[in-house]
Chains A and B, each alone.
Chain A
Amino acid sequence: MHQSFLRFADALYMKVAILLALASIVAYWAYDPLEPHNGGTWLGYTLGTVGAALIVWLTLYGLRKRSYRSRLGTVQGWLSAHVYLGVSLLIIATLHTGFQFGFNIHTLAYALMIAVIASGVWGVVMYVKYPKMVTNNRDNLTRKSIFREISELDRKASLLVEALGSPVDRMMITSIQLFRVGGGVWAQLSGRDSSQMMVPVMSGKKQVWKKVSNTGQRRMLNILAGQVARSRDPRITAVLQELSDVVSTKASLMQKLLKDVRMQGLMEFWLYIHIPLTFALLATLMAHIVSVFYYW
C-alpha cells in the first residue's frame, strides 16, 4: 500500500528519464555537425534549452512542496520526477557541452550542476537509508520522552548522591550539569558525545577542580567503580552500585539520543548544500546564457 517515491506510479519518471537520456544520446550520435560537437550547434541549442528548462523546473520543486493547496500532482509525484529527471540532466547537459571544457563561466555552470546533482543523489541515499534506522533506534520512544527519562535519571542520581560525601557528590553533580547533546552542526552530525565533568586534581599542595571529558559517562562510571572497590561500608556500596546503574542507563539513553540526532541531522544536512548550490547554479546559468548570446 505504501509506495516509495522511487517507485511512484511504477517508476514512470524513471522510464521517462531513461527515454529522454537515450533520445539525447541517439541524437548526439546521429547528428554530425560541421564543427566539433558543442553548445552552439543546432543540437547543442536544443539540448541546452531542454537542460536549462529542466533546471528551472527542478528548482520549482521547492515551490510546489510548499503550495499546500496545489492540486498539481502530489509532492511525492513531483519528487519522483525531480529525482529521475534531475539525474537525466547529467547526460543531457554533458552532451550539450560537447565535452568542451575550460576555465570559464560555462564550465563553472556545468560543475555547479554536477555538484547539485551529486548532492541530490546523496540526499536520496540518506532518505532511503535512515528512516528505518531512526525507528529502530527510537524503540517507540519520542525524543521528548527520552529527554524526560534522562532528566528523571538525573533527579534520581542527585538524590542518591546525597548519601555520599565529597568529592563524589560534586563530581556527580558536575557530570549532570556538563552533559551535552547536539550543539553545532558538526556535533550533531558526528554523533560525538562531548559531555564533560569536573574532577579534583592536586596542583602543588592545593586541590583544584578541572574539567575533563566524560564521553559516554565513562569517566563517571570509572570513578564510581573505583569507589565501590574501596568502599568498606555495605550501605555506601549499595548506593554506589545503584548510582552506577542509573548512570549507565543514562549513558545508553544518551547513546540513543545522539544516534537519533545524528541520523535526523544526516537526513536534513545535505539539503543545506543542495539548496545554496542550486541558487549558485541558477546565477551562473544565467551568466552563461547571457554571455553566450552577448558574444554570439
Chain B
Amino acid sequence: MAGAVVDIAVLGSGPAGLSAAARAAELGVSHVLLEASDHLALTIQRYQKGKHVMAEPGFLPLRSGIDFDAGTRENILENWYEGAKKHKVNVAFRAEVSTITGQSGAFTIRTQSGDSYQAKTIVLAIGVQGNPRLLGVPGQEAAFVQYQLDDPDEYSDETIVVVGAGDAAIENAVALARDNRVYIVNRRDEFARAKEGNLTRITDAIERGKIQGLFNTTVKEVINQPEEGRPGVIVLNGADGEVRIPVNRIIGRLGAIPPRAFVESCGVKFPSDVPAAVPELTRQYESNVPGLYIIGALGGYPLIKQAMNQGYEVVEYIRGNPIKPVDHDLLAKKFSALPYKYDVDEMLDFLRNEILLFGPVNPLRFRELMLESRFSTPKAGAVIFARNDYTDSFYFVLDGWVEVVIDEEKDTRIRVTAGQFFGEMSLISGRRRNATVYAGEFCVLIETPRRSMMRLISSIDEVKRRIDEIFILRAIHSQFAPNSDPSELAELISSAELRTYNRGDVLFAEGEQGDELHLVRRGSLTVSRFINGKDMVLSYVPAGKYVGEMGLLGNTKRTASVRAAVPTETVVMKSGPFNALLDHQPELKAQVEEQIRERLNLNSQIEAGGEGGKILSFLMAQGLGEATDVLLIDESLCIRCDNCETACADTHEGTSRLDREAGPTYAQIHVPTSCRHCEHPHCMKDCPPDAISRNASGEVTIADNCIGCGNCESNCPYGVIQMAYPGSEQPSVWSRILFGATGSKAKAPDAQKQAVKCDMCSTLKGGPACVRACPTGAAIRTSPENFVNLVKRSG
C-alpha cells in the first residue's frame, strides 16, 4: 500500500517510537508507526506477567503525550493502547521493516511482507532486543512453531520440541518438562554456552529421563500436517539418521539477531566494532544519514522514560522547533555550583574545549556523560580518593590541579593539571586505588562513573587510544621508576605495547626463548610448571604485578609457563630498553632481583608441598582468578550447622545470599555459591538503571532502584544473584530460642522482585555475618592474593 508520502515514519512501537508517533499525531503531522509484531511495544509485552515496571531515573521528568509511571506491565500497556487511540496514532502492525532506501525528503521503506511506505524523515526506534532467529527450514512459520515462551505452565500433556542450546532453551525445556514430554535439540554434543547452574539442571533432567536430549542433531524440516493427533511433525537429522517426531509444539530458542546489521544497511555508521557500541548521533538525535533519526535503546538509552522523552523531542526537532531537552534544568543545576558564569550550552562548549579527551565525543553522548557525572570543587589538601580504596570512577581536572602521591615514603608526587584526567588505573584493573590523590588550589573536578566511562571507551576508539597511552606511561613510571624523571623512560614507554588474552591463553611457555616483561593491567595470570608429567600451578599474578622478569636478567629460557586465568590485558616491555633502565637504576635492579628470589622461593615451597599446586589449580578453575573477595569453607572444620546461612538470611530480610552446600570441594576446601565481588563484575554489564556498584571498601552491591529485569542474574556466571521479594522483619533472638522461630521470606501481593546478592554486610559494622557466625572458624572470606598462604599451609 504505497500511499501518500508522510512527514515522519516511525519504526518500532516501543516506548520511544510510540511516544514519537503520539507527539506527531498530537501536532497533526502526517505520520505512520510501523511495528514488526502485532502488538504495541513488544519488549514490554515480553516482560513476565504482572511485572512491576519501574520509572527510573526518578529525577528525570517525563515529557510525552503518552502516560507513563511505575506500575504493572498490564496497566502500562493498557495506558499506552489508550494513549495511541486517543491521539489517533496511525499504526501498521506486522510491518517488519527490512530495507530503507532514498534520502532525506524521499525515503522508501519496505517491509518483510512486501509493503512499502514513503516518508520525508525516519525515526528509527527498533530497540536492541532484535528479532528471534528462526529455524531456517521449510515450515518454520507454522502455527505450532513459536520463538518465545511466556508462561510454561500454560501447557500440559503436550509433546514439545525445544530447539537450541543456550540458557533460554534450557530454562524453557526444564520448566516445560514438569507437565509435558519434552525433547531438546542441540546441534553440538554438549551445552557449551550455558551457565553453570543451567548446565547441571539440563544434564540432570536428561539423565533422569525427564527430558530427551537429542545431540549432534539439526532440524531438517517442519511438516505442517497433523499426525497421531498432533498438529505437525518435526523432522530431525540426528547422529543416527533421520528422526520424525509428531509434535504439539516446537519452541525455537536460537537467540536473537541483533538489529545492528539492519541499521548498518540503512547507511548508519557505528564508531567501533564492539557489540556495545552505539551509533553517532547529533544533539538532535540525527544519525550520519541526514533525515534518519535514532532514539531509545538503539541510541544507547536503556530506560523507558528516556526513550519516551526522546520520542517527544525528536518530533519537535524534526519540525524545526529547537526546544530545550528535558534535562536542561538538571544540567543547569549541576553547573550552578561551579565558579563560571556560562549558560548550559556555553558551559558544555567550554567543557569540551578544556578537556582533551572530550574532543572525539559527539554532542549528544557528551551531554549524557555530563548528566551522569558529578562536579565538585574540593578544598586544597582534601583527599579525592585514598590508596587501597575500591572506588572505580574516573576524574577529569577542569581547573587547578591535583597531586597524586605514588610513594608515600619518599613523598613522590605527580601533578595532574587542568585538561587532564586521573583514576584510569582502577577503572582498567578493577582493583584498589594504587595512589592517594589530594586536591590542589582552585581545583574543579568532574567525576564520571565507571559505567559511563566504560561505554565511552567501548564506543569511541580514539578515547580508548588516548587513555591507553597515558595508562602505559603512568603505569611504567609508577611501577618501575617512581623517583626518576619520566623523560628517562621515554624509550621504554615508546617500545611498550598492549596485549589482550582470553581465558586460558598462554603468554609464554616453559622452555621457550623469551625476553619480554608483562605488566598485568587487567585480569590475572597463573604461573605453572610441568612437574611429573602434570602442569602444576605455582602462583597467581594479579593486576598491578609483573611476570617474565627472569627473562630480562640474562636467563632467556622461560622456567615456567604463564597463562591468563581470566580475560587479561598486559603491557609488554622489551628487555633492551628495560635493561638500559636497570643499568642506571640500581634500586630498581635490586627490587627486581628481590622479586625473582621471592618467586623462586615460593615456587619451590609449593612444588615441595605437593597438594598446594593442585589446590591453586582447583581454585583458579572455579574462576577465582577474577575474584576480589571470596567465601571459602574449610570442610575439615565445618560442622554443617548452617549458622552461616541463617546469619545471612537473618541480616538480609530472610533470603540467604549464600548456598553453603552447593559448589565444589577439593582437599577439604569448599567454594560455596556466594558472590566473589569480581574485579570486573559481569553483573554490572547490562543493568539499565545502573543499580549495581562497587563501594569504596570493595563490595559489589545492588541499590534499591533495581528494576527487576533479571539481566544481572543471567550475566553472573557464578549463579549467585537471586530475584527475591523484599522480605520482612526477622524473628528476635528470644523467639528463635524460646519458640524455635525461623526466618521467613514475606511475599507481599503487590511486591516487586528485585535482584539480591551478597553485599558483604556492608551496612553492618564488623564484617560479613556468615563468617562472624561460624562457630568453628570454617568459614572465611579472603582475596586471591592470600591463596598462596592457604596453599602453603595445606601443602
16 pairs, A vs B, C-beta closer than 8 Å? A2-B634, A2-B780, A3-B777, A4-B777, A5-B775, A5-B776, A65-B643, A65-B773, A66-B733, A69-B651, A76-B774, A76-B776, A134-B640, A135-B668, A142-B661, A152-B207
Asked, given contacts A1-B789, A5-B775, A135-B635, whether A66 binds B737 with beta carbons under 8 Å apart, the answer is yes
The stretch that binds A, out of B42-50, B67-75, B250-258, B764-772, is B764-772
Within the assembled complex, what's the spacing in Å between the Cα atoms of A127 and B774?
Answer: 13
B326 at the interface (CB under 8 A from A): no
| Residue in B208, B764, B777 whose beta carbon sits within 8 Å of that of A5 in the complex | B777
Question: Which residues in chain B, 305-341, are within 8 Å of chain A measured between CB atoms?
Answer: none
Interface residues on B, range: 35 or more
Within the assembled complex, what's the spacing in Å between the Cα atoms of A3 and B638?
Answer: 11
Scan A51-66; emit 1 where CB is below 8 A from any B CB, else 0.
0000000000011011
Within the assembled complex, what's the spacing in Å between the Cα atoms of A267 and B793?
Answer: 26
Scan B594-638; emit 1 where CB is below 8 A from any A CB, else 0.
000000000000000000000000000000000000001011111
B441 at the interface (CB under 8 A from A): no
> Chain B contacts of A140 at CB under 8 A?
664-665
Chain B residues with a Cβ under 8 A of chain A? 204, 207-209, 632, 634-641, 643, 646-647, 650-651, 661-662, 664-665, 668, 670, 733, 736-737, 764-766, 769, 771-778, 780, 782, 786, 789-790, 793
Apart from A1-B632, A69-B764: 11 A-B pairs, beta carbons within 8 A: A2-B790, A5-B777, A62-B737, A67-B733, A74-B771, A74-B773, A76-B774, A131-B637, A132-B636, A142-B661, A152-B207
Asked, given contacts A69-B651, A148-B204, whether A75 binds B778 with beta carbons under 8 Å apart, the answer is no
B672 CB, min distance to chain A CBs, angstroms: 11
Q: Is the CB of A68 within 8 A of B778?
A: no
> Chain B contacts of A1 at CB under 8 A?
632, 780, 782, 786, 789-790, 793
| Residue in B208, B638, B737, B771 whose beta carbon sits within 8 Å of that of A148 in the complex | B208
Q: Is the CB of B776 within 8 A of A69?
A: no
Within the assembled complex, what's the spacing in Å between the Cα atoms of A235 and B637?
Answer: 51
> Chain A contacts of B632 at CB under 8 A?
1-2
A155 at the interface (CB under 8 A from B): yes
A8 at the interface (CB under 8 A from B): yes
Within the assembled complex, what's the spacing in Å between the Cα atoms of A143 and B662?
Answer: 10
Question: Which residues in chain A, 29-43, are within 8 Å of chain B measured between CB atoms?
Answer: none
> Chain A contacts of B662 at CB under 8 A?
142
A215 at the interface (CB under 8 A from B): no
Scan A128-145; emit 1 where CB is below 8 A from any B CB, else 0.
001110110000101100
Within the assembled complex, what's the spacing in Å between the Cα atoms of A152 and B650?
Answer: 36
Q: Is the CB of B775 within 8 A of A65?
A: yes
A210 at the interface (CB under 8 A from B): no
Q: Is the CB of A63 within 8 A of B636?
A: no
| Residue in B208, B651, B777 whose beta carbon sits within 8 Å of that of A2 in the complex | B777
A264 at the interface (CB under 8 A from B): yes
> Chain A contacts of B208 at CB under 8 A?
148, 152, 155
> Chain A contacts of B204 at CB under 8 A?
148
Q: Is the CB of A134 within 8 A of B635?
A: yes
Within the assembled complex, what's the spacing in Å between the Cα atoms of A130 and B668?
Answer: 12
Closest A residue, CB atoms, query B666:
A140
Q: Is the CB of A63 within 8 A of B207?
A: no
A176 at the interface (CB under 8 A from B): no
Q: Is the CB of B782 within 8 A of A264?
A: no
A285 at the interface (CB under 8 A from B): no
Q: Is the CB of B774 within 8 A of A63?
A: no
